[in-house]
Amino acid sequence: MTNVPTFQNYIDGEWCASLTGATFDNLNPADTRDVVGRFQASSQDDAHAAVRAAAVAFPAWKRQTPGARAKILLDAAAYLEQNAARFGEELTREEGKQKALAKDEFMRAAQTLRYYAIEAQSYGGETFPSDDAASLVYTVREPLGVVTVISPWNFPVSIPARKIAPALICGNTVVFKPASDAPLSGLRLAEAFVEAGIPKGVLNFVTGSASAVGPVLVGAREVRAVSFTGSTSAGEQIHRAASLSTRTQMELGGKNPLIVLDAGDIDLAVDLTIKGGFSLAGQACTGTSRVLVAREIRAAFVERLAAKTAALKVGSGMQPDIDIGPLATAGQLRTVLDYIETGKREATLVCGGEQLSDGDFAHGYFVTPTIFTDVPRDARIAREEIFGPVIAVIDVDDYDDAIAVANDSEYGLAAALVTRDAKLMHRFANDIEAGTVKINRTTTGNLVNAPFGGLKRSSTATFRESGRDGLEFYLQTKTVYRGI
């Protein structure tokens, strides 16, 4: 504990301690004896200082040229790329994902910054014909003002990058609060902008509990928009708390299905299930959590899935040959174990479902990948987001039955179909109620240049993230009538 580094907030161009003088520790989920860092337990006063700094900085940043803003994004991207290996190891220590995936996340964040540095150069307004020959009518696209970014622990770099980059390039100023369970990776993202020379107040970074700083970051009169990724319950609470003049963009939970109907597709389906359901220890909002399998092939599918699942290696993300790392927090471990116990009462446990606590696992949050079959359609493990390496296999009669089961959910984030039938591919894209549709692909993953978002309780029905659509949330339209 004597060598634990202490990290600070970044407010109005300065790294600074919280006004509370209090801190909190972030622990390695693979070995909780390893304290990754000590962070500021900020208060509402700290949050107000960050919001005020962003408000003061906004007029000058709004007037800054797109090229000057783009240069900062490009320089920040270069900084992330140059340090991706080191930062990736920190991410593995604080959140648990494998080193290769952690490094890739920093590289993806850099890719996102580069994309928006270029894409935003082409947005603009329109001109409109008028019956008055002596007038010119046109629109201009303008930034909103102060934007709050609140990000989760499962992708603590790539998710805030896809929020902060379009916000800044459009001329907004930002207050960024990372998840308290993975704050160091968010700090490295903020650090990249600082190293790139971002003007003071344009980007502010505040750590602390949501209960302490959240009311200000959502409710302060200067805040014009809030972009949040996290649980559905938290997102809905934020959405209700925001004022009428504050935009909200909520990317929330999912209960994502993968549909398998043909015996010829079993091997591919097994591989996609494992990749989509167990990568990141099942802690992805787009992760595969329901597999809807035709009854006649269910036995063969489960046999192959169970065999491959049992062979997966669980361990610290620092080890080069593991398949599944730890759960990210003690709370998430408790939640997953509770759902596993519920599943044992509701369905048939085929494999996994154990907490690993001996030897190298003694001080971490490890659970073996878990498969349930004979899952009733109304079971909790079939309907509620677990956010862990737990898959429910549900029997279906045919395609229409599978679609009915898949759509019978309060969520609509991602869904996938495994098939070689071109007609079914087309039908599925039209029939499924999900914002992200995959065919012969995992439910996880999205491109930085394509829109991302869900339906129903998976997202607010407003603006998509990523791609060109990701710019729209951070812009407003002004209509100008000018006499000639």
**Judging by beta carbons within 10 Å of its beta carbon (0-12, 13-18, 19+), is residue 479 exposed, middle or buried?**
exposed
Calpha distance 161→80 (Å, rounded):
11
SS3 436: strand
CB 188 within 8 A of CB 90: yes
- The torsion angles phi and psi of 210, rounded to 5 degrees, stand at -60, -35
Measured from the Cβ of residue 361, the count of other Cβ atoms closer than 10 Å reads 18
For residue 452, count other CB atoms closer than 10 A to its CB: 22
Task: For residue 427, give the nearest of 263, 259, 270, 255 by alpha carbon.
Answer: 259
Strands 146-150 and 223-229: parallel
On the 0-12 / 13-18 / 19+ scale of CB atoms within 10 A, 44 is middle
Q: How far is CA 358 from each of CA 55, 147, 362, rounded to the nearest angstrom?
A: 52, 46, 5
Q: Which of 251, 346, 385, 472 is the catalytic position?
A: 251
Residue 124 φ then ψ, to 5°: -170, -170
C-alpha to C-alpha distance for 174 and 410, rounded to whole angstroms: 32
Rounded Cα distance, 110 and 83, in Å: 11
Taking Cα atoms as reference points, which of 182, 185, 160, 163 lies closest to residue 172?
163
Strand partners, 204: 175
* DSSP type of residue 231: -
Is the Cα torsion angle 216, 172, 185, 286 positive or negative in sign? positive
251 is annotated as an active-site residue = yes
Residue 483 CA to residue 95 CA, distance in Å, equals 58
CA atoms in the 13 A half-sphere facing the CB of 234: 19
Contact 225, 247 (CB under 8 A): yes
Phi, psi of 84 (to 5 degrees): -60, -40
Side-by-side strand order, sheet with 475-483: 127-128, 135-143, 475-483
**Residues 35, 363: Cα–Cα separation, whole Å:** 12
Catalytic site residues?
Answer: 251
